[in-house]
Structure 1
């Protein structure tokens, strides 16, 4: 499918690299394509960033048919533009779309969209350390109807946002609130899908945690015992005899950085285990001196050490609230591959194709 291009006549000024934050700025252009049952995909185009028309009766507004991905492009040290694991993001988008009954684009259209859009807005890719270009591929149901069924129409669009560190702490340890009242997802629900509904369910607890001075929420299962994930990140615990991350149980999102970290740990023959881990076990091993460090992993933050964990009215300090050696090593290895200063021994990097 040929992508039509209409370029802006009023380009925006680029924001300063040291003021980016996360998700505060959008590039000059966006990609949009439409799907209709019986017709297929049509009207693929790159156009100036701005509002587009969606019927007030669209299923995205009434029945929450919305799904997105988060991925990054980098300007490497030699100036080359690359994507980090785009095939992973495509396949996760397809799995999520099947779960909430949206039509995913063919892989060729997905890849063509991100390559051509980034090529058009290449100047928006910052080069400073700890910066990148964040891509937000999104699917929404756009058919207008008032009856509970899947939409017969889908819009696929991609936004670009130059970003810095996700957390104000940067790469320093963050403070995490363990949520004991609300739950993010239940077995058989949408927890394993990057659906807008998951994030809507998390907002109140995240807001309350930030009001208390915490960066994120540690989510527990329906029994408020098994650990699932940390807001925008998967979570890892470094015990004295093993490195543990919660097993994917259907209510935990399979993060791309989570998978990358597991690959790195296995390549080093370190004892990484995917299993159920409880908050009781974590606190007990911390009291016994057997919890060495803890960290979150995600596209936005990459690796984020956890320095303080609040649980049952008490603050538990991990590794003296300092960056641990393993999280530091993992951050350096993954970001060095992304930046092109270390060999891509896992074949994660895909160069930008200018079409």
Structure 2
């Protein structure tokens, strides 16, 4: 019998469309053994009617991994959640925070902030369908909502259905007038409100997300909250993840240098190449590994220019890594 994996949300890497695919998660797992990783959002409809392996397949070595779903039909979400649980995910998360036009047209994502009863119905249906935890990721409000009214209302609804873990992106989402990219930076952050929600809902596990640029700043902003979630910072400057296991979990960090991280990831890259995957599918997630270090520009340039070529193999990664060494020696 397989031992159940219990997600530890003290540190999470955010679900990010087009970024946190299985190759990205495998790379991040080289850097941290303990952080909870999330998939890209997969819609419940796609899981019901599409190629499930392509959409949500993952390697057990990535664990602990949570599946994020998008949707607004409770029955469909329950079926998709069951599919995810059967695949071995340790958590299923409902997206009520994504502000893209495509998401809005499907009546899910951030627009669900306006329908707390429906969010609660969806979460309850998912919870009743699976044995693993069901969680919510949301904003503090959308458009003209007053966050100090909208957010506690939403939390009250979901708590009443037995949901105890919520990840809060501490910005409003403006569904009209701002692009998804602008929604990640223009609406002001309100960490104080998220901290107030922990005081108002002490029995809920509340994770802080939004605008956390480093592990250190994230931990400083955490305060009375139960954990933090890094998104773009974890992706663009992945070496931040290499300090998570010690700083957050009191464990040893799995790699001690970016070079060691590359070496640890190479066997995975080789397996994927042998399975017919293009090198760029893996190396695009590694471009920021040497950020702020000597040789970072050479590393990015060599990978960007050469990994996309037909037949590109491990020699490209080795060449990029070698290009960082003279820079480091002269630093």
For the criterion TM > 0.5, the same-fold answer is no
RCO greater where, 1 or 2, for CA within 8 Å and sep 6 or more?
1
In the superposition, the TM-score normalised over structure 2's length comes to: 0.25
Q: Which has the higher strand share?
A: 1
